Structure 1
Amino acid sequence: MKKVILFGASGNIGSQTLEILKANTQKFSLTAFSVGDNDKVIATILNDFKTVKMVYANNVQPELQTQFPQVKFIKTDVTQLLNEPGDLIINALSGFFGVKVTLAALQQEKIVLNANKESFVVAGALIQKLLSQSQQAKIYPLDSEHCAIWQCLEANQEINKIYLTASGGPFRTKSLAETKKVDLVAALQHPSWNMGAKITIDSATMFNKAFEILEVYHLFQTNKIVTLVHPESIIHSMVEFVDGSIKAQLSVPDMKQVINYFLNYPTRTSFIGQKNLNFEELVTLNLKIIDQKRFTPIAMAQACLNENNSLAVALNAANEVCVAQFQANKISFYQITKLVQQVFQDCPLQVLQTYQEIEEFDTLVRKLTEQKIREEMS
């Protein structure tokens, strides 16, 4: 029986993880979870999983403590959940907030199933350092593209190139000028995946793919990364080896496939609701190298490779601020990329070696981004 701690239980990845855990109670035991502001789901989760001993939430209704006296409710430090027994730590938190969870779990030499790509974007070098210092700590990517690369890799084989696929989002056929008319409703309509608002908007701007490039760079220790637009989202990524052969991982777009794969790694098992590719129907696969002039976030991510990590921290921080302002109808969809690029170009190159240095620089960049937004609006 593997004990599981789930960070971000109420999000898209978290809720799908709970579905898999609920269907496999003979194999997994949930001991702790976090939900942030979404306290309405706490009672349902606790009723489904009697093994939970600790819950992190920003708001907890008094009646919950009475209804579940065996559970400790906390709201000050989300990493306190790691005090509970956990063989597998699932980090499904969104944004910079989730970085400290990844680092704390690796410091405790845990196995981390990580959906928080910001961890690698801003602290990739720190993660690799922690992994090198421990024989037990491991990190597995809960992301369809990175999971695909993981499955394609062969031991002791030199990578010639990694092909990272991207659906291209809902505006892949629009010019930059045409995106000036995009509103929030349109930006939240992803053609392939059902995701939270932040990551859906990032997919529309292509910042999500930019962050995935940096995640590939740190996970697989290579800068030989090519991004391909693949609207069908069936090929999740490919690896090219030095002899010219290419291995690809294909499946119906479904994050449960990824979650289930790493929950049971290295054994493959089926899961409830699984859908297989049907080759009795015509399966068309379109692949094309992405235009970095059209999708400048890809170019910015490529510029971060082999560069001081302050550049990647700035990229993430500026984007988080701009996406929040777009959701609040303070700036337009088009301005997200424009403003992030301005901050990115002005970013001082520094080596940030500790989480504290990263956090301080992140705070500085957010203030600078907010200032640029005020200047843009004035």
Structure 2
Amino acid sequence: MKNVVLFGASGNIGKQTLEILKTNKNKFKLIAISVGKRINDLETILEEFKDIKTVYSSVSIENLKNKFTKINFVSNNIEELIYNDAHIIVNALSGFFGLKITLEAIKKEKILLNANKESFVVAGNLIQELQQKFVKAKIYPVDSEHCAIFQCLEVDNQINNIYLTASGGPFRNLTLEEIKNVNLKDALNHPNWNMGSKITIDSATMFNKAFEILEAYHLFKTKNIITLVHPNSIIHSMVEFKDGSIKAQLSVPDMKQVINYFFNYPDRVEFTNQKNLNFKETLNLQLKEIDQNRFIPIKMALGCLDEYNSKAICMNAANEVCVEAFLNNEIEFYQITEIVSKIFHTTQKINYNNYNDICAFDKKVRELTISLIKGDK
């Protein structure tokens, strides 16, 4: 029996993780969760998973405290949920906030199922240094593309190229001029994946793929990353080797496949409501390299593949602020890329390699972005 701590239980990845855990209670025990501000399903979760001993929430839940008296409800120091008796940490937190969980899980040498790609975007070098120091820690990427790459790797053969696939989002066929007419409803309508609002917008702008490039760079230690538009999201990514052969991982687009794979790694185990590819139907595997002049975030990310992380930090921070502003109808969709690009190109290359310095620079960029959105000089 392995003890599991789930950060971000109320988000999309968190909910799918709970589905996997619900049908595997003989193998995994959920002992702690975080839900942040989204507490609508919390009571149901606590009724279902009787072994939970601690809950992190950033809002008041006095009614649940009175009902579940044996559970410790906390609102500070979220990283303290990583107990010594925990075996697996699932980091399904969205955004920069998830970085502290990634770092703490490594320091405590846990198995980390990491869906927080921002950790690698802003602190990839720091994570690698910590992994060299805390050698028992293991990180598995809960992301369909990086899970695919992981499965395609060969121990004795070096990577020649990584082909990172992208659906292209709902606006893959629109020009830069045409996206000026995009509204919030359109941007939240992803053609293939059911995701939270933030990552759905990131997919539409292609910032999500930009962040995945940086994650792949740090995870698999290569700059040879080529992004391909693949509208059907059947091929989740590919690895090319020196002899020109390419291995690809294919499956129906479903994040539960990824979560289930790493929970049971190295075994492959069927999961409830699993859907398999149907080869009685014609599969369209159309692939085309992404136009970096159309999807500028891709070009920005490829410009961050070095030892300096200041531009990656600024890209992530500015994007988080801009996406929130767009969701609140404060800016237009096309302005997300414009504002982030402006800040990105005025940022000097500096390496921030400790948590406090990364946080300080992240805060500075957020303040600058808010100022630009408000039109301050």
Q: What is the TM-score when the length of structure 2 is the normalising length?
A: 0.99
Q: Does 1:170 align with 2:170?
A: yes
What is the CA deviation profile of residues 52-85 of structure 1, one whole-angstrom value per residue up to 9, with x for unaligned ones?
A: 0000011232221121111000001111111363
Q: Matched residue of 1:304: which SS?
A: coil
Q: Does 1:12 align with 2:27?
A: no
How far, CA to CA, are the matches of 1:124 and 1:156 in structure 2? 24
User: Aligned ranges for residues 174-189 of structure 1 at < 5 Å?
Assistant: 174-189=174-189
What is the CA deviation profile of residues 306-339 of structure 1, one whole-angstrom value per residue up to 9, with x for unaligned ones?
A: 1511110001000001101111111000000000
Aligned to 2:352: 352
How far, CA to CA, are the matches of 1:253 and 1:30 in structure 2? 26
For 1:214, give the aligned amino acid. L
Aligned to 1:227: 227
How far, CA to CA, are the matches of 1:278 and 1:156 in structure 2? 33
Aligned to 2:279: 279
How far, CA to CA, are the matches of 1:353 and 1:61 in structure 2? 37
User: Aligned ranges for residues 253-292 of structure 1 at < 5 Å?
Assistant: 253-292=253-292
* Contact 1:121/1:211 (8 A) holds in 2: yes
Q: Which runs of 5+ in 1 are unaligned?
A: none
How far, CA to CA, are the matches of 1:39 and 1:253 in structure 2? 27
* Contact 1:6/1:90 (8 A) holds in 2: yes
Per the TM alignment, residue 156 of structure 1 is displaced from its structure 2 partner at its CA by 2.1
How far, CA to CA, are the matches of 1:195 and 1:318 in structure 2? 21
For 1:63, give the aligned amino acid. N
Aligned to 2:94: 94
Q: Does 1:303 align with 2:303?
A: yes
Q: Matched residue of 2:180: which SS?
A: helix
* Contact 1:39/1:60 (8 A) holds in 2: no
How far, CA to CA, are the matches of 2:85 and 2:362 in structure 1? 31
What is the CA deviation profile of residues 19-71 of structure 1, one whole-angstrom value per residue up to 9, with x for unaligned ones?
A: 11010100000000000001221111111010000000112322211211110
Per the TM alignment, residue 370 of structure 1 is displaced from its structure 2 partner at its CA by 1.2
For 1:286, give the aligned amino acid. Q
How far, CA to CA, are the matches of 1:84 and 1:40 in structure 2? 29
For 1:59, give the aligned amino acid. V
Q: Matched residue of 2:41: which SS?
A: helix
How far, CA to CA, are the matches of 2:200 and 2:315 in structure 1? 17
User: Aligned ranges for residues 1-378 of structure 1 at < 5 Å?
Assistant: 1-83=1-83, 85-375=85-375
Per the TM alignment, residue 161 of structure 1 is displaced from its structure 2 partner at its CA by 0.3
For 2:56, give the aligned amino acid. Y
* Contact 1:5/1:89 (8 A) holds in 2: yes
How far, CA to CA, are the matches of 2:135 and 2:348 in structure 1? 35
In structure 2, relative to structure 1, the CA distance for the partners of 1:84 and 1:35 (3 Å cut) is: farther
Q: Matched residue of 2:140: which SS?
A: strand
How far, CA to CA, are the matches of 2:373 and 2:181 in structure 1? 19
Q: Matched residue of 2:155: which SS?
A: coil
How far, CA to CA, are the matches of 1:104 and 1:84 in structure 2? 12
For 1:292, give the aligned amino acid. Q
How far, CA to CA, are the matches of 1:301 and 1:183 in structure 2? 25
Aligned-residue RMSD, C-alpha: 1.0
* Contact 2:125/2:307 (8 A) holds in 1: no
Q: Which runs of 5+ in 2 are unaligned?
A: none
What is the CA deviation profile of residues 203-230 of structure 1, one whole-angstrom value per residue up to 9, with x for unaligned ones?
A: 0000000000000000000000000000
Per the TM alignment, residue 375 of structure 1 is displaced from its structure 2 partner at its CA by 2.0
Q: Matched residue of 2:169: which SS?
A: coil
Q: What is the TM-score when the length of structure 1 is the normalising length?
A: 0.98
How far, CA to CA, are the matches of 2:40 and 2:168 in structure 1? 34
